[in-house]
Structure 1
Amino acid sequence: MGEDKEKRTLTYLERLKQKAISQENYGGEVKAEEAKMEVRDCPECGAGRAFRQGLTACAYCGFKFMNTRLTDGVHIKKENNS
């Protein structure tokens, strides 16, 4: 009886189960991280803002978190209003 089980072909459902068990996640392994919120408070008015890269001014009071000044780049040049 044991030999018959080893020799018989797998059913469609058994093959699907084996494929599901042996497959890898698309994009690699998933890292487990704790949930978190990235919030930055405005030092001027205290309004909470979701932290995003490039956040330069408070939407409520207009406080500037950082002053950015554009200069001539490699491919982009300032316009001259002559």
Structure 2
Amino acid sequence: MEEKKVTSFLDKLKQKAQNQTNYGGETEINEAQMNTRDCPSCGAGRAKQDGVTHCAYCSFEFLSVKLTDGVYIKKEDNSI
């Protein structure tokens, strides 16, 4: 006759702890990096961010933004 092993509450907790996985999945290991861009006019470094259009030091224009009519939003005519 086979004997059934009775697992204690503590043994069940230990087993659950060993079988659990990380919340959110496995972690990715990436090398450290800096996402920067130098100003071509004065050489000042700045963080590369979307929407930054001018250098904070020399006012060099990185991006020229021209607003046009969109699908839902139209340009306002303030000449009236």
TM-score bucket (shorter structure):
0.7 to 0.9
Q: TM-score under structure 2 normalisation?
A: 0.77
Q: Which has the higher helix share?
A: 1
1:10 match: 8
Compute the displacement of 1:15 (Å).
3.3
- Ranges in structure 1 where 5+ consecutive residues have no aligned partner: none
From the superposition, tell whether residues 80 and 30 of structure 1 become closer, same or farther in structure 2 (CA, over 3 Å).
same
Q: Secondary structure at the match of 2:14?
A: helix
Q: Secondary structure at the match of 1:7?
A: coil
Quick one: distance in 1 between partners of 2:63 and 2:50? Answer: 12
* Mapping for residues 48-59 of structure 1, pairs under 5 Å: 48-59=45-56
2:73 match: 76
* 1:60 pairs with 2:33: no
Quick one: distance in 2 between partners of 1:27 and 1:49? Answer: 32
Aligned residue identity for 2:39: C
Aligned length: 77
1:7-58 C-alpha deviation (Å, 9 max, x unpaired): 122333x433333332222222221101111111101111110111222111
1:32 match: 29
Q: Secondary structure at the match of 1:20?
A: helix
- Ranges in structure 2 where 5+ consecutive residues have no aligned partner: none
